[in-house]
Amino acid sequence: MSVHYGMSEQTTLMRDKFAGSLIHLLEEQIDTGLNLATRIQNAIRRQIIVGALKRKDRLPSSRTLAAELGIARDTVEAAYQHLESEGFLTRLHGSGTFVTETGSDFLRDHGPRTRRRNVEIETGNRGRIALNLGGVRDPVTRAFSAAMPDLRAFPSSTWNRIASRIMREQAACVLNYSDPQGLRDLREEIARYLAAHRGVRCNADNVVVLTSSQQALAMISSLLLDPGDVVAVEDPGYPGVKAALKMAGADLLPVPVDGEGLRVDVLSRRRGPIRGVYVTPSHQYPTGVTLGFDRRVALIEWARSNKAWIIEDDYDSEYRYEGAPISCIQGLDPSGAILYVGTFTKTLFPGVRIAYLVAPSYLVKTFVTARTLVDGHSAYLNQAVLAEFMSGGHFTAHVRRMRELYKGRRDAFLEAFDRHLSPFASFDVANGGFQITCDVRNGVGEAESIRAAAQLGIELPSLRSLYLARPQRSGWVMGYVGLAPQEAEAAMRKLARSLGSGSQSRRRV
Ligand SMILES: Cc1ncc(COP(=O)(O)O)c(C=O)c1O
């Protein structure tokens, strides 16, 4: 039966068809957990938006529709009233319920039948820079992803036990906002740890708890620099800092690295104002070399006379396999030019999302205020768990255990490398950290070997891509600590087979 719900022929609705299409749209929402009135609203709104219901179309009365759908009239009433309050329907006493003009105007301009070009509104310059920088991190860990700790070795049960107790005893704090500088207890633990193990001069008031070193580098870049400021970076060097600096509009000045770390003599000879320098002095990323003592002193002198910042990234120095960990340069400099950055990504697990910045006292307020504006603060729960994990001695015990484990893995990895990959690449000796740098050889190309590995599901991060200036080494930065020796060896065997067949076909050509 065909029934006229509207004022003209154009506005005729087939009642059965209307109820039928509603039933279909209601069924589609069954798994949403929404109540029936909301599902009816959504279904009718959808009909209007896709143009199935048109301007001035009259809807069945709530009584009729309820009867057809076999539901209570109040439910349909509630849906109609809500759509009226949103402006999609109008209800005229004695005449019925109609699709509004506004709804139809919206449809005329935006509806699916309107021929219109999609508008892509231009982003700001920083959006374009971010997009060009690329490098969205793939969360899947593969052999030989750089810089991944072994997550299976983490004492999760201890962590969970502390977390459960904190949830029980401090639920009000866990659920609430908390200190933007970071939990006092955690800052005290971090300050104590850094003084005892890294030679950092600070107290809890200098520590700002953040989510990652990357956040620290991004905040340092945006708060302490202006677009066009020049910042020196190690070459080769960590891509994370280059991205943060570029996002802030800084100009990067590559300074070469040799067997003793950053060439401070080269930096000192550069003319023109340089606002800061980024260094990984304990364990240079990616080469693994340590900045020599004379260079540390020279760097501090240079920073003082140039009124420049030193950004010290101490990302993995706990993992030094021969000899005691090297202390940081922050402890050598009383002048307040050093921003010391550290992270729990490597010592605990990346998902913990806790890192820290140790800032000179006069800068702390700037960072804490900015943190409040950016994202408030880090979540209370993990901070509180970590504070107890540290005060209970679990953190230092875990680092000690991991150092032994990773040292064994390093040795096994290098032996397996010799067995399988030595025809294709040679490695630098790795005295610490999570990865080794390798130079490809015997005609193996960096790009082609990385592509071949990717086809096997193996990640071989590029060494060349970490350089800004020439000459550049071609090779790989291979992460080894996250893999059990047999996993590493199996991946190397596969890789060697693939590279071997590649070199044979190269020879045949
Ligand atoms: C030099 C350096 N700094 C910092 C980090 C990472 O720190 P986060 O995960 O806390 O951003 C890495 C990770 O690979 C790194 O290599």
Q: Which residues contact 191 (CB under 8 A, 6 or more apart)?
A: 200, 202, 203, 204, 206, 207, 358
365/424 same-domain check? no
**Which tens digits make up the pLDDT trace of 391-447?**
999 999 999 999 999 999 999 999 999 999 999 999 997 789 999 999 999 999 999
The tally of domains found in the chain comes to: 3
390/425 same-domain check? no
**Which tens digits make up the pLDDT trace of 67-100?**
999 999 999 999 999 999 999 999 999 899 999 9
Residue 217 forms part of a structural domain: yes
333/414 same-domain check? no
Query: Is the CB–ligand 1 distance for residue 343 below 6 Å?
Result: yes
DSSP letters for 130-158: HHHH--PPP----TT-TT---GGGS-HHH
Residue 121 forms part of a structural domain: no
453/488 same-domain check? yes
Residue 390 forms part of a structural domain: yes
Q: Give the range among 28-42, 179-193, 199-213, 403-417 with minimum mean pLDDT.
A: 28-42
312/189 same-domain check? yes
Query: Is the CB–ligand 1 distance for residue 355 below 6 Å?
Result: yes
485/449 same-domain check? yes
Interstrand relation of 276-279 and 230-235 (parallel, antiparallel or unpaired): parallel
DSSP letters for 325-376: PPPPSGGG-TTS-EEEEEESTTTT-GGG--EEEE--HHHHHHHHHHHHHHT-
Structure token pair of residue 502: 């590649």
Give the domain CATH number at 441. 3.90.1150.10
* Alpha-carbon distance values, 275 to 233, 279, 367 (Å): 11, 14, 18
Structure token pair of residue 56: 């001035």
CA-wise closest residue to 339 among 330, 331, 348: 330
Q: Which of 340, 371, 394 is the last residue of a domain?
A: 394
Q: Which of 378, 394, 410 is the last residue of a domain?
A: 394
450/365 same-domain check? no
Residue nearest to atom 3 of ligand 1 (CA): 315
- Count CB atoms within 10 A of the CB of residue 362: 8
Residue nearest to atom 12 of ligand 1 (CA): 315
Residue 123 forms part of a structural domain: no
390/460 same-domain check? no
pLDDT at 23: 84
Give the domain CATH number at 19. 1.10.10.10
Query: Is the CB–ligand 1 distance for residue 178 below 6 Å?
Result: no
Residue 126 forms part of a structural domain: no
- For residues 172-187, average pLDDT: 98
d(CA 186, CA 388): 8
d(CA 448, CA 21): 55
Residue 138 forms part of a structural domain: no
Q: Could you tell me the pTM of the whole model?
A: 0.88
Query: Is the CB–ligand 1 distance for residue 213 below 6 Å?
Result: yes
- For residue 217, give the ligand 1 atom closest to its CA: 11
* Alpha-carbon distance values, 55 to 45, 49, 175 (Å): 13, 11, 48
388/403 same-domain check? no
- For residue 211, give the ligand 1 atom closest to its CA: 10
Most ligand 1 atoms within 8 A of CB, residue of 318, 343, 382 to mutate: 343
Start-to-end CA distance of the chain, whole Å, equals: 77
Q: Which domain holds residue 457?
A: 397-508
435/367 same-domain check? no
Q: Which of 394, 409, 428 is the last residue of a domain?
A: 394
Query: Is the CB–ligand 1 distance for residue 280 below 6 Å?
Result: yes
Residue nearest to atom 14 of ligand 1 (CA): 147
Give the domain CATH number at 387. 3.40.640.10
Residue 140 forms part of a structural domain: no
Residue nearest to atom 7 of ligand 1 (CA): 213
pLDDT at 509: 37
Question: For residue 346, how far is its CA from the centre of ligand 1 (angstroms)?
Answer: 8
Return the DSSP state at 294: H
pLDDT at 325: 81
Sheet containing 251-258: give its strands across. Answer: 207-210, 355-358, 338-343, 309-313, 276-279, 230-235, 251-258, 261-262
